[in-house]
Amino acid sequence: MRLEYFQMVDRILALSIEQGHVRAAATVPTESPIFEGHFPDHPLMPGVLLIECMAQTAGWILLAQARFDRMPFLAAIKDAKLRNFVLPGTRLEIDARVLHEGSGFAVTKNEVLVEGTQVCSAEITFRILPFPASGVRDMLLAAAKRVEFPLEAIGHGQ
């Protein structure tokens, strides 16, 4: 996880296009400039970044379902609950399940777990739109390799 670069997912653990499900792993860094302000002498993973973790994880299953032809954009967050503090160095497992694939949008149910215990959850709605620039798709394909996204499952095989 590189907070300053918004790289919230370290690795895809499991992904099923048919079941609309993905699980990812990420470890909160032990050091980051973010912790200098959040908070001095008491570093905490910001809750908004935990929500970003859930959004990015859900993004991988939605990209998979769209075969990287279109891209999910965060549109709405509902019932977000931040149950426990998350400290630097904590290993997270992030789970996302597609609740609904609409026309041009999708809704996912998401949670973050620490040692099997849910620390946050939310329902997230995405707009599914064409890539705004080819560079964005290229960046996501490069990120897919970094997180061990199963590109062969969507016919890329790269």
Partner 1 sequence: MSSTFDTVANIIAETCDIPRETIKPESHAIDDLQIDSLDFLDIAFAIDKAFGIKLPLEQWMQEVNDGKATTEQYFVLKNLCGQIDQLVAAKSA
Mind telling me the catalytic residues?
Answer: 38
**Total number of residues binding partner 1 (CB under 8 A)?**
11
State both tokens at 96: 């996302």
Q: Are 44 and 81 in contact (CB under 8 A)?
A: no
Q: Which of residues 63-92 bind partner 1 (CB under 8 A)?
A: 75-76
Write down the least CB distance from residue 78 to partner 1, Å. 9
Please identify which residue in 56, 108, 121, 125 interacts with partner 1, judged by CB under 8 A. Answer: 125
Write down the least CB distance from residue 100 to partner 1, Å. 6
Q: Are 57 and 22 in contact (CB under 8 A)?
A: yes
Whose Cβ is closer to partner 1: residue 25's or residue 75's?
Answer: 75
Give the integer Cα–Cα distance in Å for 49 and 152.
29
Q: Tell me if 130 contacts partner 1 by CB under 8 A.
A: no
Write down the least CB distance from residue 142 to partner 1, Å. 28
Give the integer Cα–Cα distance in Å for 122 and 140.
23
Whose Cβ is closer to partner 1: residue 91's or residue 100's?
Answer: 100
User: What string marks each residue from 24 to 63 as x (binds partner 1 by CB under 8 A) or -?
Assistant: ----------------------------------------
* CA angle (119, 122, 125) in 5-degree steps: 155
Q: Which of residues 92-111 bind partner 1 (CB under 8 A)?
A: 100-105, 107
For the purposes of burial, counting CB atoms within 10 Å of the CB of 56, is it exposed (0-12), middle (13-18) or buried (19 or more)? buried
Give the integer Cα–Cα distance in Å for 81 and 59.
19
User: Which spans of this chain sit near partner 1 (rule: CB under 8 A)?
Assistant: 75-76, 100-105, 107, 125, 127
